Amino acid sequence: MKPETAIIRIKNLRLRTFIGIKEDEIQNRQDVIINVVIHYCAERARNSDNVEDALNYRTITKKIIELIENNRFSLLENLTNQTLAIASEHPWVEFASVEIDKPHALRFADSVSMELCYQK
């Protein structure tokens, strides 16, 4: 990792959405837990105090919230991929990963999760 690389971590963003293929999953929103990691070159931001020189994690988070809360998903893979597209869309992003947990998806497990990564 280059010394000018900054790492943004959005941890345990808890949202509700329609996710799944069973009838009760189609009819009822479920909890999902989103974790996002974004690496970007922050050399300009480190040497200034100008918000325009930094990647705005609030903007990214708002887009993720809008995506997840206003759509329906059959597959965790698709939900994770669309979230990753938001996390990696800014040209400064060098690497991004998204992990989404679906709590109580399996009877004897805390959750099932899907993780996808992007690298420039």
CATH code at position 90: 3.30.1130.10
2 vs 83: which has the higher pLDDT: 83
Sign, Cα dihedral of 52, 58, 60, 62: negative
- pTM here is 0.92
Section 59-64 average pLDDT: 98
Query: Can you give the residue range of the structural domain that contains 84?
Result: 5-119
Report phi then psi at 28, rounded to 5.
-125, 140
If one counts the domains in the chain, the total is 1
Distance separating alpha carbons of residues 46 and 2, to the nearest angstrom: 14
Query: What number is the average pLDDT over the span 30-46?
Result: 94
